[in-house]
Chain A
Amino acid sequence: NAGVTQTPKFRILKIGQSMTLQCAQDMNHNYMYWYRQDPGMGLKLIYYSVGAGITDKGEVPNGYNVSRSTTEDFPLRLELAAPSQTSVYFCASGGGGETQYFGPGTRLLVL
């Protein structure tokens, strides 16, 4: 099993550009999550999903959108990138027992 995969690994965006961060898992987990981690800080939940077709906001959802059309995929969309969105983005999945398995992360720089 590949576990949780994320693409791209690193991206530079200009202010106002848009992009989609991809996340996929092959563990058949119902629960998927998007976090951001600013330098030296903890993890903040952006959005989460409890199953295909169901998504909900986390602590810091502004400026982001998600969709969950399949169990495997949970893309995160950034519209109109801003410097405040410079961060490391982690996708995670879980089987419902609350243990979460993280992807390797996407490092995003907005200039």
Chain B
Amino acid sequence: GQQVMQIPQYQHVQEGEDFTTYCNSSTTLSNIQWYKQRPGGHPVFLIQLVKSGEVKKQKRLTFQFGEAKKNSSLHITATQTTDVGTYFCAPGAGSYQLTFGKGTKLSVIP
């Protein structure tokens, strides 16, 4: 599988602040998916990005796929306590397997 690096590993924010996590690859990706895992829960699919430069929004969440398809980001505007969890990126290699990054653990201080 294709390897990616996620940064930061941890992020603590005050409620209402913005949050961004980055996913970087040394190789071109065919697509990338994002998952969220709540504490004690299981990963839940958020979105898939396929096209170069693609930007998708889900309410306060904005997902971007880089022009070179080597990096991606997830930005959350005005974080809420419900955003707490670990966010994983998972590049697809055109096959049916995903390789998950180590994730960014988000803590939101009320």
In whole Å, how far is A54's beta carbon from the nearest beta carbon of chain B?
12
Tell whether A48 pairs with B102 under 8 Å between CB atoms, given A99-B33, A102-B44: no
Q: How far is the CA of A97 from the CA of B99 in the complex (A)?
A: 14
Interface size on A, residues (CB 8 A): 24
| Cβ B42 vs Cβ A42 within 8 A | no
| B101 interface residue per 8 A CB criterion | yes
Main secondary structure of the interface of A (DSSP, over half): loop
| B63 interface residue per 8 A CB criterion | no
Chain B residue numbers with a CB within 8 Å of A97 are: 48
| Cβ A90 vs Cβ B43 within 8 A | yes
Q: How far is the CA of A83 from the CA of B4 in the complex (A)?
A: 29
| Cβ B42 vs Cβ A98 within 8 A | no
Closest 3 A/B residue pairs (Cβ): A102-B42, A42-B102, A43-B100
